[in-house]
Amino acid sequence: MKIQTAFLYLATVCVCGGCTPDKDDPFFDECGGKAPGGLINLAISEEDDIKMGLSVVNQIESNPAEFPVMDSIQYKEAYGHIYRIRDMVLNSGKVYYKNKFPWRIRLIRDDKTLNAFCTPGGYIYVYTGIIKYLDNETQLAGVMGHEIAHADRRHSANQMLKQYGLTVLISILTGAEPGLLEQLAVNLLLLKYSRSDETEADDYSVRYLYPTDYDPRGAKFFFEKLSASGGTSIPEFLSTHPNPDNRVANIEKMWSCLGSKTGGQLFETRYQQFKNSLP
């Protein structure tokens, strides 16, 4: 009870203290950008995010029948392409935990599944299905920026805090509740983000791509492709928020707020090379 009371007090201080944007924050921008903060930073450390992420990694990579992860040595060329895209996003200077999370990425060989996700702590998984579905590298960079944003903005950790409560979540992460870390991993795999989390991830995908050679609206082109398909190919990771037209408008709004940068590239030729390197 004392822990919870102290947490609520600190949370109130944090929320009130965060009402006015800090323009000295290097991640501040006039479009609402700022360094991650809020309640989660008071309760759960970045190391705890990594621990939660590793619990998911263990679940995935101990089940090759459901998650056929491609070997990074056997498919060296394909991994070279996905590493390049990841690094372009991470090196934008806009990913807050760029040097704190591992950002390990793995390809899952499943052409029927249009999916990509990033666990807490920055463990990224991309299905071959979504890679083959998309038309150019910038579309995939937009999707990956969106997924990286979920980890970078600590959305999963926030959701777990709401689901378990502070005391129980700390007990799980410290091992005081044996066996529950595996259940936590299962819940993270089944996690559905809130509408506000999805909107923020879209916004930050634009921010991440803006300083790069990609068109910052990579995620927009992805949603436009979904709209053109008549919604029949909505990926699993968007199944709770199937409104690509609204998300296109939001992405355009963020791009315009940041300055309407033009000249970004799609990299269609090398994306085809990436597709050709897949089994």
Residue closest to 158 by CA, chosen among 194, 209, 116: 194
Instruction: Please state, in angstroms and rounded to a whole number, the distance separating the CA atoms of residues 158 and 265.
Output: 35
Residues annotated as catalytic (active site), given as ranges: 147
pTM of the model: 0.89
Please calculate the CA angle 230-234-235 and round it to the nearest 5 degrees.
155
Per-residue pLDDT tens, the chain, 279 aa: give them.
Answer: 334 433 433 343 344 444 455 667 889 999 999 999 777 777 889 999 999 999 999 999 999 999 999 999 999 999 999 999 999 999 999 999 999 999 999 999 999 999 999 999 999 999 999 999 999 999 999 999 999 999 999 999 999 999 999 899 989 998 887 789 999 999 999 999 999 999 999 999 999 999 999 999 999 999 999 888 765 555 555 544 547 788 999 999 999 999 999 999 999 999 999 999 999
Please, are residues 191 and 157 in contact by the beta-carbon 8 Å criterion?
no
Domain ranges, ordered by start, for the chain? 26-276
